[in-house]
Amino acid sequence: MLQRIALGQVRFNLPGLVADARGVAAGRQTVARFAAIDRLVSFLRLLSAEQSLDDFQPGLRIVYARGGAGTREAIVILPATSTELGDVVAHAVRLAGGQAFTGAGKHFVQFRDARAPLGYDVTALHEGAGELVLYGAEQTVSYRIENELPLATLLLRLSLVRVSGQAPGFPEGSVYLTARRGLGAVVAGYLHRASARAPGPGVSEPALRAAAALCETPAASAFSSASTFWLFRIEHPPARLFGLLSKTPGLDLYLPVADNVLVAAGYRHPIHLETCRASFPADRLYLFSPGGVTEVTSLPRLAAIEDVIRIRAPAFESALRQEAAPIARPDLAVALRLEPSGSAGRPVAALVPWAQVAWLQRLLYALPPSALRSYRVALLGRGVLVRATEALDGLPFGALYELGAPDVLVPVGTRLRPAVSPQILSERLGATGGAMVLFPDRAAAPVRILSEAVGPLDERLLATLEPALANMESLGPQRRPLQDPVEIENDPLGPMPLWGLARPR
Amino acid sequence: MPRSFVSQFLLPLCRGGALHVGRPLGERAVARLLALAATGGPTDGAGIVPDPFLALAAARRELAARYLPTLAAPPLDEVTVRLGAALHNLLALGHPDLAGPSLARRQARIAESALALAAAAPPLSARETVNRHSLLARLPEIVRVDSTVRFWIGRQTFVGQTPPRRVTALPALRRVRVDRTRRSWLREIGIPAVGRRAFLALNAASPLGEALDPLRLDPPIGWGRILPILRFPGIARVVAGGALEIGVDPAGDALAGALYRFAGFHDPPFGMPASSDAVGFALTFLAHLVWLDVLFGGRRDPARADRAEPSVGTGLELAVVLTAAARTRPSLVWPGDVPEAGDLGRAFRARLDTMAARAETGAASQLAAATAIAEFALAPAGRPLAL
């Protein structure tokens, strides 16, 4: 029994029903009920024309449920983020000949209509068994869910519809072409010649470009081999090719509706596939044709058509006659050099050789907290590099370095020549994004230290500390974080499942 | 049976893993397990307690330490065993092997046994509260994986069962495809209607889980079940902290909505009945949440920054209830030792004014009902309230 919701009413008997700012009561989910699968398909087509089905993911479920009277019906459960979205869904449901409900969990009440603009509530909850209870104006039906049909599966099962009254010709943008394996080389050569052909005088249409890949579909069974075909992507195809590409046996023309979804030219899918991108994994390619769906398990890597066509080797004589005369232009670039500068700058880093690391370890106990916090270290093959933010103090050993450019360390008393801009120097050496470049000495090549290798000194200097837990010995040695999910595993109940239970009073 | 019940049900319930649901447990099986637990657990020949009992104690202690860090390992006492068995029977209500023409009768019998097992008085101390909750703390995390195996000549569905290897054998030859659906037992599958009373009794016996999940839809939170544990200060702080984590407005809305049902005697007959003291305590607890939000709510947790902002109507129920309480008797929402002239008092006053403005504009018609609740809280004899 339903009751109409009054304006300002905020308490409802149906769990999960809440009123929005307009006073319209709705739940977190919308349920659409259809008596037949064709109405369900009509609903999805109508809905996808107005609203992207991806907006309902995750959460969109299509289930077959059996009602109390034994009828088997198709039920769509959609998340409802707002009542406006619910209105769009309800409109599409009514157009398709179904019924819309709102609620959450297992209880759903009829969606608002002209008789109850603020929605419906129930007078009492249904006490019977069932995984889904739909409270309608005429009757309340509880459903037992029998199976679930994923949206992606439904999309792959539907047959294409022929488009009538469409003018022949290519749409704007790219088209795709499949060719049987034996035709691949011929088609590639043809497309290459077509792309190389210069447009006529006064023609300003963009040039044809093509790319190709060899695709393989998984074997249908263990006794059959996998089928292989060529896939061509043709950009800006001229209209003169349409008849050839669409009518030649062995060639099938496809139009893209999404990045990885293609539909045969002259046909359309019953549902607007461009709104269902989430149902098609991005690493697969789907080709919808009247004969079924071809699923390419890994996204093909298309190669330029110039690289695919067969190359004929030049004749031996002509190759001999060619003279190899490499002509190189003089390069202006010069090598970067370290030169004595005559004056010592302020040291900002020190490289402590591994032989002196024991000294450094002893010194760490004496360094003040500010130094420990501000110094950063990197462990290199030559030793430990200690880098200060401004000035390095308190390290009486190791090789000292100053800044030759931002984040470019050079030995104290040297400079980099030629004297290019420090910013350009840092950029060319790769001393950006937290990385540093170290010139160990005048003879050694510079090394680049990535930002991941540099860490605060106070974090690096402590060994791993794992204090023992107190008073836990009695609980045994095995301790595992409580991260595993708790999953129901129904064991067989045997022939007498209620053995040992008391008889009902 | 007792040992496998501990290792295959109680232990995974706390530590995670496969939660084996088998034949429903009756009083006799529970008595055997109780006898075993009373001796401190079974021992082998050398007098050493075997692994599952120790592991269960360790896992429960780890769960309990989230609420009372100094708590010792909870004992496997009678109430704990009975609550575990009751939950097992509730889970068994959805067992696929029960299907058949007498399904309803079988479910009724199992639900009745679960109700008898779950019938226990509310906990009498904070320690007992956490001890019981340590067994059921991960109840919202229980999931059921339903598998549908499709092959060349048909399909088979396995509800909460791993498909046997013979069904999935020769996958390429038989074109085997397995679709798995993972659903939360509490939130998505839901408690069957026949087991609803037993589940409420389970919550009345161990109310901390319900108190920490105020946004639960079905069955909704009930003050009658959670009030007995809110009188323990440590537990009340834990619950208030949980509500702050969720957000004072959504959690307060759920608790305020539950207060209408509680004060109107519309709650199911589990837990304590409504009285003026109880309703007054509930109102002060709601005000306490707002005080905490005024004190600490300004700092937004960066870990929660990516969550969606609450909708416009969130917090209206709480605003209505607290506005009515403040107008009826300020002491219901205002502690006596906090002066209104201080910074804190002025901040709370500003919050109350904002809530009052919202209540006036958004739900003026409910203010009368909320005022009746506040008057009921002040009534000396706790006369029944007609809502």
Mean pLDDT by 10 residues, chain A (505 residues): 77 83 82 87 87 81 84 87 81 88 88 82 82 85 86 85 75 84 82 71 70 79 75 83 79 86 86 84 85 81 78 53 52 80 85 86 80 84 86 83 89 87 85 85 84 80 56 47 82 84 70
d(CA B263, CA B377): 9
- Among B24, B313, B364, the residue with its CB nearest the CB of A20 is B313
Tell me which amino acid residue A78 is: L
Q: How far is A387 from chain B (nearest CA, A)?
A: 31
Q: Are residues A250 and A179 in the same domain?
A: yes
Residues of chain B in contact with residue A478, where contact means CB-CB under 8 angstroms, are: 51, 54-55, 58
Asked if A278 contacts A272 with a C-beta cutoff of 8 angstroms, the reply is no
**Minimal Cβ distance to A490: which of B160, B187, B192:** B160
Which three-class secondary structure string do you get for A247-259? HCCCEEEEEEEEC
Place of tokens 């010592």: A344
Q: Which ipTM was obtained for this model? A: 0.84
Does B138 contact A486 at a Cβ distance shorter than 8 Å?
Answer: yes
pLDDT in tens, B32-90: 888 877 665 555 544 445 578 888 888 999 899 888 888 888 888 889 999 999 999 99
Question: Among residues A239, A230, A236, which one has the least CA distance to residue A175?
Answer: A236
Do residues A134 and A178 both lie within one domain?
A: no
Contact A150 B260 (CB under 8 A): no
Residue A116 and residue A46 share a domain:
yes
Query: Does residue A269 lie within any of the structural domains?
Result: yes
Same domain, A293 and A372: no
Asked whether the beta carbons of residue A484 and residue B16 sit closer than 8 angstroms, the reply is: yes
Chain A with chain B: Cβ pairs closer than 8 A: 172
* Interface test mutation site (partner A, options B218, B221, B360, max chain A beta carbons within 10 A): B218
Question: What sign has the CA pseudo-torsion A45, A46, A47, A51?
Answer: positive
A191 and A108, same domain (yes or no): no
Region of B69 please: left (phi>0), alpha (psi -120 to 50) or beta: alpha
Note the maximum CA span of chain A: 109
| Contact across the interface for B192 and A129, Cβ inside 8 Å | yes
CA distance A345 to A414: 9
What confidence score (pLDDT) does residue B384 get? 47
How far is A9 from B313, CA to CA, in rounded Å? 13
Nearest CB to B145 within list A8, A150, A487 = A487
Closest CA to A479 of B135, B16, B59: B59
**Claim to verify: residue A52 and residue A97 sit in the same structural domain:** yes
Residues A373 and A432 in one domain: yes
Q: Which pLDDT does position B386 carry in this prediction?
A: 44
Q: Which residues contact A375 (CB under 8 A, 6 or more apart)?
A: A367, A386, A387, A388, A389, A392, A456, A457
Our CA angle for A151, A155, A161, nearest 5°, is: 150
Chain B contacts of A486, Cβ < 8 Å? 12-13, 16-17, 19, 138, 141-143
Residues A137 and A167 in one domain: no
Residues A501, B24: C-beta atoms closer than 8 Å: yes
Angle between the B316-328 and B367-378 helix axes, to the nearest 10 degrees? Answer: 50
CB contact under 8 A, B217 and A8: no
CB contacts of B95 in chain A (<8 Å) are 490, 493, 497
Q: In whole angstroms, what is the distance from residue B241 CA to residue A295 CA? A: 51
Residue A504 lies in a domain: no
The answer as to whether A463 is a domain residue is no
Domain boundaries of chain B, sorted by first residue:
2-139, 143-189, 209-378
> Residue A486 is nearest to which of B12, B103, B364, comparing CB atoms?
B12
Say what the alpha-carbon torsion angle A132, A133, A134, A137 is, to the nearest 10 degrees.
170
Same domain? A142 vs A170: no
Of B28, B194, B311, the CB nearest to A129: B194
Residues of A in contact with B160 (CB under 8 A): 488-490
Interface touch A500/B108, C-beta < 8 Å: no
Which residues in chain A touch residue B157, judged by CB atoms under 8 angstroms apart?
147
- So what's the pLDDT on residue B379? 79
A306, A325, A354 — which closes off a domain? A306
Cis peptide before A270 (omega within 30 of 0): no
3-class secondary-structure state, position B67: coil
Between residues A257 and B239, which one has the greater pLDDT? B239
| A163, A288: one domain | yes
Q: Are B123 and B271 in contact (CB under 8 A)?
A: no
Which residue(s) pair with A147 in the sheet? A64
Q: Are residues A51 and A181 in the same domain?
A: no
Partners of residue B138 in chain A, C-beta under 8 Å: 482, 486
Element (H, E) at A315: none
Distance between CA B387 and CA A370 in Å, rounded?
Answer: 66
Same domain, A183 and A290: yes
> At residue B347, does pLDDT exceed 50?
yes
Question: Could you say which of A16, A493, A501 has the minimum Cβ distance to residue B97?
Answer: A493
Average pLDDT over every residue of B102-121 = 91
In this prediction, residue A47 carries a pLDDT of 86
Boundaries of domain holding A132: 2-149
Instruction: Kindly tell me if the per-residue pLDDT of B176 is higher than 80.
Output: yes
Looking at the partner chain, which of B21, B112, B217 has a beta carbon nearest the beta carbon of A489? B21
Which residue type occupies A346?
Answer: R
Alpha carbon distance B22, B117 (integer Å): 17
Regarding predicted confidence, which is higher, A443 or B291?
B291
Listed ranges B143-157, B309-323, B337-351; the one with the highest mean pLDDT: B143-157
The reply to whether residue A128 touches residue B193, judged by beta carbons under 8 angstroms, is yes
* Nearest-neighbour CA in chain B from A144: distance (Å): 11
Give me the amino acid identity at B356. Answer: A
Number of domains comprising chain A = 3
**CB < 8 Å to B267, chain A:** none
pLDDT on residue A470: 52
